[in-house]
C-alpha cells in the first residue's frame, strides 16, 4: 500500500513539473531507429500528429500519459522527454571517419550521443574541481605538415620517441574528453569535435584494441590540424589522409621506428614489432613501406598473406584494450559521494550514461565477491 502511495505521489510531482522537450523526441526517434509511422503506431495517432510533435515551430505536444507510453515503449526514462538541457551539435562541427559511408540514421545517433557527452561533462564540472583543462595546441604553423605536427606535439607533451602506453589516458590528462560509442552505432568508427573550445572524442570499442588506438590518434590529428575549419565536411578526403599521416607519426615516430625495426621482416618479427608499438599489423606493414623499409612487392605480398591468415578481421596476438583512467576516477568519486543519485540526476538515464562512459558505472557498482 505504501509503495503504491509513493508511486502515486511521484507521478503527481512528475506531472506537475512536466514540460515536453520536442528536440528530445527527435533524438529518441534517431537513437531507436524509428520512423514517424512507428511513433504514430506507438501512440495510436496519425503521422501528421507526430510531425507536429517534432516541429519546434508548432505548439502541439503529447500529453503526460502519451509521454509515459513513449518512455515505456522506447525504453527511455520519462525524464528524457522532460529535459531542460539545451545544446545542439551539427554535422559541420564533427570529424566523422568515413563520413560518406555512414548512414544518416547513425550520424544522427552519433550527434545525439555527442549532446549527452556535453551534458555529462557539464555535470562533472559542477561536481568535481581541478579537472584537467585543455590548453590548446601551439603548432599552428604545421597544419600542412602532419608528421612534423605529430612529432612537435610529442615534444610538447614530453612523450619522447617510445611507444605511448595508454593513449586514452594521455588525451584525458591534456583536457580532451573521451567517450565510448554504444553498440547501436557500431557502424561509426570514431569521431571528434570541439564544444565551447573543449575537444571531445568518441571511440568504437567494437573494434580491435590496436585499431581503437589508431582511431584515437587519428581524431587527435583532426583536432590538431583542422580546428580552425568552419565546415569540417569540406575537402574531407584530404583531411582524412592528413589525420592518418598524423596518427602514424604520433604512434610510430620515424626516428625510433626505423632505428628499432628488425633486420629480418618475416611474419613472426612483424607481429612482435607491431605488439611493441601497440598498433595493428596492417598499420605496421604500411608504416614500414612508407618509411622505405619494405619494397612495393613485399608490402603487397604481406597484405595478401595477412588476408589469407584472417588477420584483416582478427588481430594476431592482440594487445590489452585500453580504458580511461581519469573518467574511472571521476565515476568512483561521484558514486562514493552521491551513490545512485549520481546517475539518477542525469535526465537521459543510466543506460546511455553507462554506455558512453565505457560501462564504468556498471563495473564500479558490481557486487564484490566475499571469500569465506
Q: Is 203 exposed, middle or buried (0-12, 13-18, 19+ CB in 10 A)?
A: buried
- Nine cell digits for residue 353: 550514461
Q: Which pLDDT tens digit goes with each residue over 310-361?
A: 998 899 999 999 999 999 999 999 999 999 999 888 999 999 999 999 999 9
Q: How far apart are CA 277 and CA 254, in angstroms?
A: 12
Tell me the mean pLDDT in the region 123-142. 89
Residue 238 has pLDDT above 80, yes or no: yes
Q: Which pLDDT tens digit goes with each residue over 28-71?
A: 998 888 999 999 999 999 999 999 999 999 999 999 999 999 99
Domains of the chain, start order: 17-84 (1.10.260.40), 85-252+324-372 (1.10.10.2910)
Q: Which residues pair with 159 in a beta bridge?
A: none
**Comparing 33-47, 183-197, 259-273, which segment has the lowest mean pLDDT?**
183-197
Q: What pLDDT shows up at residue 370?
A: 57
**Comparing 1-15, 35-49, 70-84, 303-317, which segment has the lowest mean pLDDT?**
1-15
β-pairing, 190-195 with 198-203?
antiparallel
pLDDT grade, residue 4 (50/70/90)? very low
Residue 127 has pLDDT above 90, yes or no: yes
253, 214 Cβ separation under 8 angstroms: no
349, 74 Cβ separation under 8 angstroms: no
Average pLDDT, the chain: 90
Residue 231 has pLDDT above 80, yes or no: no
How big is the chain by its Cα radius of gyration, in Å?
24
Amino acid at each position: 500500500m505504501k509503495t503504491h502511495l509513493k508511486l502515486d505521489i511521484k507521478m503527481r510531482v512528475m506531472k506537475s513539473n512536466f514540460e515536453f522537450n520536442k528536440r528530445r523526441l527527435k533524438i529518441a526517434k534517431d537513437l531507436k531507429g524509428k520512423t514517424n509511422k512507428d511513433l504514430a503506431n506507438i501512440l495510436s495517432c496519425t503521422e501528421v500528429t507526430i510531425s507536429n510533435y517534432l516541429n519546434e515551430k508548432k505548439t502541439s505536444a503529447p500529453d503526460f500519459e502519451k509521454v509515459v507510453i513513449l518512455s515505456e515503449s522506447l525504453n527511455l526514462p520519462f525524464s528524457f522527454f522532460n529535459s531542460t538541457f539545451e545544446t545542439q551539435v551539427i554535422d559541420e562541427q564533427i570529424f566523422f571517419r568515413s563520413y560518406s559511408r555512414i548512414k544518416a540514421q547513425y550520424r544522427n545517433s552519433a550527434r545525439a550521443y555527442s549532446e549527452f557527452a556535453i551534458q555529462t561533462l557539464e555535470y562533472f564540472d559542477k561536481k568535481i574541481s581541478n579537472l584537467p583543462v585543455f590548453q590548446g595546441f601551439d603548432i599552428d604553423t604545421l597544419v600542412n605538415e602532419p608528421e612534423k605536427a605529430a612529432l612537435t606535439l610529442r615534444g610538447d607533451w614530453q612523450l619522447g620517441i617510445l611507444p605511448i602506453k595508454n593513449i586514452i589516458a594521455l588525451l584525458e590528462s591534456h583536457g580532451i574528453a573521451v567517450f565510448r560509442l554504444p553498440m547501436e552505432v557500431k557502424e561509426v568508427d570514431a569521431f571528434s569535435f570541439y564544444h565551447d573550445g573543449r575537444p571531445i572524442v568518441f571511440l568504437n570499442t567494437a573494434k580491435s584494441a590496436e585499431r581503437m588506438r589508431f582511431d584515437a590518434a587519428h581524431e587527435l590529428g583532426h583536432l590538431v590540424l583542422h580546428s580552425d575549419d568552419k565546415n569540417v565536411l569540406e575537402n574531407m578526403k584530404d583531411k582524412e589522409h592528413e589525420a592518418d599521416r598524423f596518427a602514424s607519426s604520433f604512434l610510430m615516430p620515424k626516428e625510433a621506428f626505423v632505428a628499432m625495426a628488425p633486420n629480418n621482416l618475416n611474419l613472426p618479427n612483424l607481429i612482435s614489432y607491431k605488439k611493441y608499438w601497440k598498433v595493428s599489423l596492417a598499420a605496421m606493414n604500411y608504416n614500414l613501406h612508407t618509411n622505405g623499409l619494405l619494397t612495393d612487392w613485399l608490402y603487397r605480398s604481406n597484405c595478401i598473406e595477412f588476408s589469407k591468415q584472417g588477420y584483416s578481421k582478427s588481430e594476431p596476438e592482440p594487445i590489452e584494450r585500453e580504458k580511461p583512467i581519469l573518467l574511472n576516477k571521476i565515476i568512483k568519486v561521484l558514486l562514493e559521494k552521491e551513490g545512485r543519485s549520481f546517475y539518477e540526476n542525469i535526465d537521459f538515464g543510466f543506460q546511455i550514461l553507462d554506455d558512453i562512459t565505457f560501462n564504468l558505472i556498471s563495473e564500479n557498482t558490481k557486487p564484490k565477491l566475499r571469500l569465506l
